[in-house]
Amino acid sequence: MLLEGTEAPEQVKMLGEDIMSKSILMEVLRQHNKLTSTDVRIFGGYNTAFKLASSLSELGELNNNIVFVLDGDVVISYDEKLQEVENAHIIEHPTQQQKEDIAKHFIQYNLPSGEKLDSYIYNMLKSESDMEDSIVAAANGVTEYTIDTVPAKIQDKDRFLEHYKIQETVTNLGYKGEDMKIGYQKIIEHFAAKHAQEWNDLTRDVQQWINRNM
C-alpha cells in the first residue's frame, strides 16, 4: 500500500521488435517474477526503434523505465547507437548528451554470429530428437523452401525465409490468428526449458537489465 501523498512508480516498459521478441521478454520477466509489473510491447523493427526513442525523448517521456531490445542479428556498438540517433532525424542537431541519453535505452539479444532470431530458435527445436514432443514434431513438419521455391505471391522473399519456419511451427501446433501468440509463448517456454545454456546466453543482457532496474 502507498503512503498518503506518494505516487505509484511508473510501470516498466520493455519493447521488442516483433511477436517472437515479445514472447522472449515475457518469459524472461516470468522467470524473474516481474511479468505482471511490466508492460511488454512491440515497436516494429530496427529502423523504427531509434525514431520512436528520439520522439519520446523530445516529448520528455523517455524515462529510465523504458528499454528497447533489438534482435541482435546486427550487432550494434555503443558508437553506432549514437549514430543511429542522429540518423533518425527526429532531433535537429542532437547534442552528444542527448544522443547518449537515448542510446542507453537500447540493449540486444546475444545471438551467435550470423544468426537470425527466428531461425536460431527454430533450428534449436529442429535439433531435438524427441518426436513425441508436439513442439519438436511441429518444427519437423515445416515445409522447406529455398529462394527459388518461395511462392511467387511473396514479394519480400528474404523476410519470408527468415520468419516462415517458426510461423509454420506455430500453425502446425494448431494456433492461428490472434491465438498465434499463445503458440509463440509455448515455443519460447520449451526453448528456455530444453536449452537452458543457450537461453541464458541469448537473454543475458535482458536479465542483467532487469536485475539492475527492477
User: Residues 96-117: pLDDT tens digits?
Assistant: 999 999 999 999 999 999 999 9
Gap between the Cα atoms of 47 and 40, Å rounded: 19
pTM of the model: 0.93
Q: Specify the CATH number for the domain of residue 59.
A: 3.40.50
Inside any domain, residue 151: yes
**pLDDT tens by residue, 17-60:** 999 999 999 999 999 999 999 999 999 888 899 999 999 999 99
- In a shared domain, residues 147 and 71: no
**pLDDT tens by residue, 78-91:** 999 999 999 999 99
Q: Which residue range is the domain that position 132 belongs to?
A: 117-194
Gap between the Cα atoms of 98 and 62, Å rounded: 11
Inside any domain, residue 3: no
Spatial CA neighbour of 150 closest among 141, 142, 140, 158: 158
Inside any domain, residue 44: yes
- If you compute the radius of gyration of the chain from its CA atoms, what whole number of angstroms results? 19
- In a shared domain, residues 85 and 23: yes
Inside any domain, residue 173: yes
Average pLDDT over residues 137-150: 96
- In a shared domain, residues 104 and 140: no
Number of domains in the chain: 2
Query: Which residues, in sequence order, are CB contacts of 129 under 8 Å at separation 6+?
Result: 136
- In a shared domain, residues 143 and 64: no
Spatial CA neighbour of 103 closest among 120, 83, 75: 83
- In a shared domain, residues 127 and 156: yes
